[in-house]
């Protein structure tokens, strides 16, 4: 039987707010803005494929999930929070 190795798993998502570094929070915010860019790009197209509709939905869901995390919202400026909330 293989011994459980925690280094195989990304446990960062289970960390509490006080355990996240500012760098980790900012990295998550940057990832959310990657989703914003993709959403804006897809919404600017006149016609999108079914796959692009799914991509749009997944990226909106990503932002919604992140807005449910206190540590994430705590790292946002008021303007960023308003912008992200307007997308979902």
- The pLDDT of residue 18 is 57
**pTM for this model (two decimals):** 0.75
Cβ–Cβ < 8 Å for 85, 67: yes
In a domain, 26, yes or no: yes
In this prediction, residues 36-65 reach a mean pLDDT of 97
Domains: count for the chain: 1
The boundaries of the domain holding residue 76 are 20-87
In a domain, 4, yes or no: no
Alpha-carbon Rg for the chain, nearest whole angstrom, is 16
In a domain, 76, yes or no: yes
- Torsion, Cα of 47, 51, 55, 57 (10° steps): 80
In a domain, 24, yes or no: yes
In a domain, 8, yes or no: no
Residue 12 has pLDDT above 90, yes or no: no
In a domain, 11, yes or no: no
In a domain, 60, yes or no: yes
Residue 6: pLDDT band (50, 70, 90) is very low
């Amino acid at each position: 039987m293989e011994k459980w190795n925690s280094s195989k798993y990304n446990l960062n998502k289970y960390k509490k707010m006080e355990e996240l570094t500012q760098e980790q929070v900012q990295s998550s915010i940057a990832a959310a803005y990657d989703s914003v860019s993709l959403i804006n790009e897809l919404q600017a197209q006149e016609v999108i494929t079914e796959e692009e509709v799914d991509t749009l939905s997944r990226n909106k869901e990503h932002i919604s999930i992140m807005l449910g995390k206190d540590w994430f919202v705590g790292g946002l400026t008021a303007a960023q929070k308003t912008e992200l909330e307007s997308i979902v």
